[in-house]
Structures are given as structure tokens and as C-alpha cells.
Amino acid sequence: MPTVSEPPAGVEFVHEDDGRVTARHVDSGVASFGDSETEALRQLADALDSHFGHGEPIDDPDAYLAELEIDVEIGENGRPVWLE
């Protein structure tokens, strides 16, 4: 996969020990990862859409997470706000 030589303004890359790349939007702190810089940027774009309210609404968050086989651990503060 090709790599991005220079990240877009306002984005920083972190090359993780496991080979993945994290792309972080500096102003908002939103981050996502991928197997390459290009994939990390694609994932970050989706995460930013969601963060800024431009993503698609999820009617049943529990079913959506179960479909993706994501186990949400409920901490002492209860359910995460994004599941409310």
C-alpha cells in the first residue's frame, strides 16, 4: 500500500509497534487507525464525520455492536454516552 509522504494539515501519524498507523486530528483529538497511512486517513474521515454529527444515525446501537462483534465493557460510570 502506498504511504502518504506528508499528512494533511492538522493531522498527525503515529506508527504503532504492531505495524498499524494511527491518524489523529490535532484540533479535535479524534483518532483512528489502519494498516497504512492511507487507510488510517480513510478511517479518520469517517470518525470525524461521526464526531461532528455528519455520520449516519444508528437505530439500535446494541445490535450494531453485536453485529460487528464489539464487546462494550460497561465501567463504573455506566453505559458510554454515545450508547444513550
pTM of this structure: 0.61
Quote the pLDDT of residue 5. 58
Q: 33 pairs with which residues across the strands?
A: 22
62-76 CB burial, b ≥16 within 10 A, e <16: eeeeeeeeeeeeeee
Reading the chain (84 residues) residue by residue, the pLDDT tens digits are 445 557 788 999 999 999 999 999 999 999 999 999 999 999 999 899 888 888 778 888 888 888 888 777 666 776 666 666
Q: How far apart are CA 43 and CA 31, in angstroms?
A: 9
**pLDDT at residue 83 in the model:** 61
Domain extents in the chain? 11-72
CA-derived radius of gyration, the chain: 15
The torsion angles phi and psi of 11, rounded to 5 degrees, stand at -125, 140
Q: What is the pLDDT of residue 75?
A: 67
Amino acid residing at 68: L
pLDDT of the residue at 40: 94
